[in-house]
A and B are shown apart, each in its own frame.
Chain A
Amino acid sequence: MSKSSLKTAAGGGLLDRRSFLLSGLALSSAHAVASSQSSLGESLPQWMKTPGGNDLEYGLPASAERHVTRQLAKNTPETALFSMWHTPIENQRGIITPSGLHFSVNHNGVPNIVPEQHQLLLHGMVDKPLKFDIESLLRYPVVSHIRFIECAGNTAQNAVSLNPLNLGCQELFGQLSGAEWSGIPLKYLLNEAGVKPSAKWVIAEGADGGSHSRSIPLEKLMDDAILALYQNGERLRPSQGYPMRLLLPGWEGNTNVKWLHRLEVTDKPAYSKDESGLYSDILKNGKIQRFSFPMEVKSVITHPSGNQVLPERKGFYEISGLAWSGRGKIAKVEVSADGGKTWAQANLDSPVLAKSLTRFRIPWQWNGESTTLLSRATDEQGQIQPTRHQWRDKYASYSFNHYNAIQAWHISRDGTVENTYV
């Protein structure tokens, strides 16, 4: 298919998202004719000529893919107990992050919980204080939903650094993952205990060494919160809260309390450590915004992204990325290949789910000149990603939580992709 027959959607070589890509289908008709003396295997690779190896009880990635791992964030307190493990989202396609690659922020390490000795306590402003062991919980109705989790501090470097740091997707956006979570709607357990009419908050606490604690509005727990027991079809991994965690769709990662063991129903928030300091937002006027729970609409192009090199100057590439909103579904994603002068609408891959990662794609014919790629998401509430300038206009210069500005990747003529500001 010649270039002229493809419909251009915007400047910089963006093609219509409905373009059919047929150019690769010009199949070669050349083929070798085997001589009568040669055995069938002579020209074949080794693995086609020998019996294969044994499979494993629990499968692992291909040995050639073992480099795709989580990375421990640099520049965080260097203790084994406070760790931030970032997901390599530039290696992910689709919207599900493999469980072993799901990001994880641990303030006091990963506890080694004996499930038979773990209980969920539910007390406070309830008619009947209750405790649940895991054997009982596994008999409740289990619902499954595909949701994203994003740390409030994801992409903090671009919020506070005056100059764009030379970082890739994993370092900048790796506190983001998507998974299918299965568990019990929290309202079942709260209704069983009988919540008193004057209750407004629930203090959720983990069974880790630091007894991580967050105050959650009761309304959220009665809405779409679940007590998650499974992730991607298997029981939770230890770093995701085994044997159970709170899953608050769309809300900042820190509120999704892992290793959950206690819910205390109250009429007031506790002002726990994290809701007092680390997870508050400092506004431009010096005010400290507290309890800003939902993660706002955001997107990032993962293919191509920072620290990658486009293998060939000029030519066809597919731009692909992720969009998400803590307030519902993604309505549209626009992409610019000319630094924001013109925009084209990207295709959204099915399924497009509320409070889930959404995959977007658009074909791009790079003309080989240096340019800047941007993505801009809008959610079903009509919320649209701000520019970095607009975002920073709202917050103090050192405030780094809930950064959701439009991300820009600069493409050099040699194909190098770098984090940049526009």
Chain B
Amino acid sequence: MSKQCSQLPILSGLVVVFFSTILLAQDINTNLGKDLLPSEIDTYSITIFPDGTNLPLGQGTAVQGAALYKNSCSLCHGSNGIEGPAARLVGQDGWFSLTDPLRILRIKQHPVLLISVGGLWPHATTIFDYIRRAMPHHAPKSLDNSEVYALTAYLLYRNGLIDEQTTLDRQSILKVTMPARARSTFPRGSDFAIE
């Protein structure tokens, strides 16, 4: 009861709603949100955009990334990034080569291997973004920014998009052209083709 009473003074917004049912829904004005401080935005604003917005400082190479990959990633993605069970990281999307003796088994056991990061993702920034927010699966957000650049470089190198010595950082990552970008198309009538 005391909780209900304590809410009464701040129910004025709802009282307005009760007495304004003839108004359209859009006319409801609410004001219960609190100011979000710039420091709080900085803490949580982790989305990396294809134009480089929010890319942090740090750098790494594929050579450095190879060791990290072996320790933190290969258990789920396979030593070559194609074995699964987790998503295929290297090579084209689609059915595996007919010469792969495990092709049927792999597709049957792990259908997500039909799609591939190297084959489908249009922006290298997404690799950085996703490793940083979600990988490794058992300990997301545990890598530092240079480790994330190094792992991103390793995956780009394994896909033949940069060489092993290229230093990846917030500038050089924007120069990488993912082959899938040219394949992008958008549903008819949509206004979504914004790079």
Contact = CB atoms under 8 A, between A and B. Distances in A.
A81 B31 CA distance: 38
Nearest to B93: A282
Given A191-B30, A211-B140, A273-B134, 18 more contacts: A81-B137, A131-B33, A131-B34, A131-B35, A132-B32, A136-B32, A136-B34, A139-B13, A200-B191, A200-B194, A211-B133, A261-B44, A262-B44, A270-B129, A278-B87, A293-B187, A397-B95, A398-B114
Contact of A77 (B46, B50, B84, B183): B84
A122 B30 CA distance: 14
B63 interface: no
B186 to A, nearest CB: 6
Contacts of B194: 200-201, 267-269
A11 to B, nearest CB: 37
A262 B194 CA distance: 22
Contacts, number: 195
Contacts of B22: none
B123 interface: yes
A135 to B, nearest CB: 9
B96 to A, nearest CB: 10
Interface residues of B, number: 69
A213 B123 contact: no
A201 B114 CA distance: 29
A114 B115 CA distance: 36
A22 B11 CA distance: 56
Interface stretch (A52-60, A182-190, A243-251, A331-339): A182-190
Contact of A108 (B122, B129, B137): B137
A77 B133 contact: no
* Chain A contact patch, size range: 35 or more
A278 B32 contact: no
Q: B26, B76, B111 — which one has the most chain A CB atoms within 10 A of its CB?
A: B111
B121 to A, nearest CB: 4
B167 interface: no
A290 B192 contact: yes
A272 B126 contact: yes
Closest 8 CB pairs of A and B: A130-B33, A210-B134, A129-B36, A77-B85, A273-B130, A287-B185, A136-B32, A276-B121
Contacts of B34: 130-133, 136
A313 to B, nearest CB: 35
A38 interface: no
Nearest to B31: A192
A193 interface: yes
